[in-house]
Structure 1
C-alpha cells in the first residue's frame, strides 16, 4: 500500500493483503484484508500507531522511508494480536530510541507473545494522553473489543480515531475512505458477526466512550476509513442492539432427503406466515454468511439428520460456532430425522443453550416425514410466527 494522507501530518503506512482467504486459519476473508498502521508526526515527537503482520514488514519499512522517517519516539500498540503487533520487535531493534506504548494488560501479552523487553514498554491508563507537540494522543481502554487488552487511540486536534479492530472490515481495496457504503457494509457486517458479536455489550460500552469525542475520521486496523463516521457507527448501533428482525436462520444438512423435505415444508410454512427465512445448505454454504444472518435473526432452527448416534458433523459445527458467536437470537429449535436412535436433539440443544435463547419444542422424526410430521412442522412454524409477534418492533 502506498503512503496516503489521512489528515495533516497523519499518514496511513500499512499494507494490503490482496490474496488472503483465511484469517488466523479460522475466518474466511473472500475479499482479502489490510493491516493498517498510522504515522502521526507532531512538532516534537513522532508516533507510529500499530504495526503490520510480519509478512508485510517490508511494506511498512518502505513507507516509513518514503516519508523520510529516520527515528521514532513512540510505537503505540492498541492490541497484542500479531497482525497489529507482530513487527514490533523488528521496529524496536531498528529504532533503538523508540518506546512501545500500551496498557498494562497488553504489555503482559507483548512480553509473553513477542518477548518484547519490559523496559522498552511504557504503560498508559484509560484517559491518559501523550503530547507529540501540536498533536495529542488520548488512550481509551476498551477491554473485550475483542481481546481483554484492547484499546483505541484518539488524535484530538484532527479528530482521528484509530479504532483498532472496532469498526473494521476484512476488505482489500485501493480506496482510502469509504465512498459508497453499499460496497463496504457486507464486509463490515461480516467482520462484526465473526469477531465483535460475542462482545456486543463491550462494543456498546466502547461506543459510549467515543460518543462525546469530536470524531471526524474513523481509521480501523482493517479495511477502509470513514470520513463520515456516522455510516459505520449507526450500523454498529443497530447490530449491537437487542433488536431482532422477523427472520429465521435455517442451517441444514440432509443425507438421504428426509431432512431436506422437512426443510422445504417448514420454509414454505414460515413464508406463508409472513416470516422471512434464510436456509443455508451446510455442505456448500459460507459460514460467514450464516454468521451475518445471525446478527439479525429472531430465531435459529438447525435441521440435521442423525449420523450414528449424534448430529451430522456439519450441523454440530454450525451449532458450536453460533453458540460461540452468541447472537441476540430469542428462540432456537431443531428439526430432522433419524433411523434407529441417538442423541442428536440433546447434543444440539446442549450446544445451543449457550446462546441463552428460549428452546421451542423440536420436531425430530423417524425416517421420511409422514403427514403427521408435516403437520407438526407447520405447527412449529405457527408457533414461531406467534413468538415473533411479541418481540419484533414494527417500523
Structure 2
C-alpha cells in the first residue's frame, strides 16, 4: 500500500477534538468521484458528523453515509458510550448526512431525533423513525445540554425544505449543514487547504446558487451571532470564518467580475476556431476570459465560473438541423442554477440548415440574460461573420466597462 494512503487510512479512524467536549466524528471519502450523479469530485469529499458533550446530555449532530458505519461507530465509541447520546440532530435528511440514523437510533435507544416539522416527515419516510422518538424544533428553539446550549435556526431550501442550522451558543460554533461546505476529503481545518475558497465557490455554484434568495435570508439570520467556528457537513472545519462569510455575502448578492465565459463544442474544428478567435479578442482587450470545450469540460468547474462571470458566449454546432446535445445540457444547467450572468452572445455553425438559435433563445428566455447578438456561420467564417464577431466582442466589452 502507498505510504501516504496508509497514513491517511490510519488517521481516518480517529475522532478530531475541535475544543473541549466537541468532536468531529465524520469520515473521509477519498474514492468518490462524482456527487449526486452530477458534480465531479476532484479530491474526494467528507461526511461530517459532530459530537457535543454537555454536563447533563450528549448530542450527535448529523451522521454519515451508511457505507461508512463501521468507521463512524468506531470513532463515536472512542469518545462516548453511544447509549448516552440523548439527542440526534438531523440538520438535513439527505442520506450523505443522515444515512446512519436508523442504526444510531437503535444503539442510542433513549435518544430523540431533533429536526424541523418538515424534517420529521422526511425522517419517517427515509429512516422510519416513529413519531414518539422525534422532537420538532422551530426557529430560535433551544436545547440545554448542561452548560452548553444548542439553538436551532431554520434554513429552508438550503438546499432542501427541511434544512436547519444548529448553533452552539457558549462556544460560538455554527453547525451549518451544506451551507459553507466544500467537497474535499483533505484537510481538517480551512487553513490546511490553500485553495479552499475555490472548492467552496464550486460547492456554492452547484448546490446553493439556485437558492440565492434563501441564502440571503439565512445570512441575515446568523448575522448577529458570535461565530467563532463554522462546522459544515462537507469539507474542512472553518476556524477563520470571516473570509467565507465575506465570500458568501458576495455570491448571494450576485456580484460578478468583468469576466467572459466562452463555451463551445466543435465537431470539425470550425466552431473551435471561432471560440479561439473570441478568446484572443477578449484577451487582447484585457478582459478576463475562460474558455471551455464542453466535450472535455468538468461540469463543476464550468458551474463555478458561471457564479461570477458577467457574460457568456455560446459557440454551438448543429446536428440534424438542431442544437448539439452537449451544449443543450449546459444551457439547461444555466436555467437550473440561475447564475448572475447578465449578457450573452450566441454563435451557431451549420451546414445545411439550423433552428438552433431559436432553441437557445427558448432555453434562455426565463434566465434574465440579455442576448446581445446571434451570429450564424455557414461552415467557414466569412468576412461579414468576422465583422459580426468583432461587433459582439465590442458590445460585451462596452457592457463590462460600464
What TM-score results when the alignment is normalised by the length of structure 2? 0.94
1:151 corresponds to 2:164: yes
> Does the 8 Å CA contact 1:324/1:354 hold for their aligned counterparts?
no
- Deviations 1:338-360, CA, capped at 9 Å, x for gaps: 11213211112221233221111
The 1:70–1:318 alpha-carbon spacing in structure 2 relative to 1, beyond 3 Å, is: closer
1:93 is matched with which residue?
106
Which of 273, 280, 289 is the equivalent residue of 1:268? 280
CA separation in 1, counterparts of 2:223 and 2:25?
27
Give the secondary structure class of the aligned counterpart of 1:226: coil
CA separation in 2, counterparts of 1:319 and 1:119?
47
Alignment of 1:211-222 (within 5 A): 211-222=223-234
Which of 15, 21, 40 is the equivalent residue of 1:3? 15
CA separation in 1, counterparts of 2:191 and 2:24?
17
CA separation in 1, counterparts of 2:160 and 2:393?
39
User: Matched residue pairs, number?
Assistant: 389
Which of 335, 340, 352 is the equivalent residue of 1:323? 335
CA separation in 2, counterparts of 1:135 and 1:257?
63
1:349 corresponds to 2:367: no
Give the secondary structure class of the aligned counterpart of 2:331: helix
CA separation in 1, counterparts of 2:75 and 2:106?
17
- Bigger CA drift: 374-383 or 21-30? 21-30
Which of 223, 228, 252 is the equivalent residue of 1:240? 252
CA separation in 2, counterparts of 1:152 and 1:22?
26
Report how far residue 309 of structure 1 moved. 2.3
CA separation in 2, counterparts of 1:66 and 1:316?
51
What TM-score results when the alignment is normalised by the length of structure 1? 0.96
1:55 is matched with which residue?
67
Give the secondary structure class of the aligned counterpart of 2:253: coil
Which of 253, 265, 285 is the equivalent residue of 1:253? 265
RMSD: 1.3
Report how far residue 94 of structure 1 moved. 1.4
Report how far residue 240 of structure 1 moved. 2.0
2:201 is matched with which residue?
189
1:286 corresponds to 2:291: no
Which of 189, 214, 228 is the equivalent residue of 1:177? 189
Which of 174, 178, 203 is the equivalent residue of 1:161? 174
Runs of 4 or more off by more than 4 Å in structure 1?
Answer: none
Which of 345, 361, 374 is the equivalent residue of 1:333? 345
Report how far residue 329 of structure 1 moved. 0.6
1:365 corresponds to 2:377: yes
2:8 is matched with which residue?
none
CA separation in 2, counterparts of 1:17 and 1:180?
17
Give the secondary structure class of the aligned counterpart of 2:346: strand
CA separation in 2, counterparts of 1:83 and 1:60?
13
> Does the 8 Å CA contact 2:82/2:107 hold for their aligned counterparts?
no
1:393 is matched with which residue?
none
Give the secondary structure class of the aligned counterpart of 1:146: coil
Give the secondary structure class of the aligned counterpart of 1:305: strand
CA separation in 2, counterparts of 1:69 and 1:22?
34
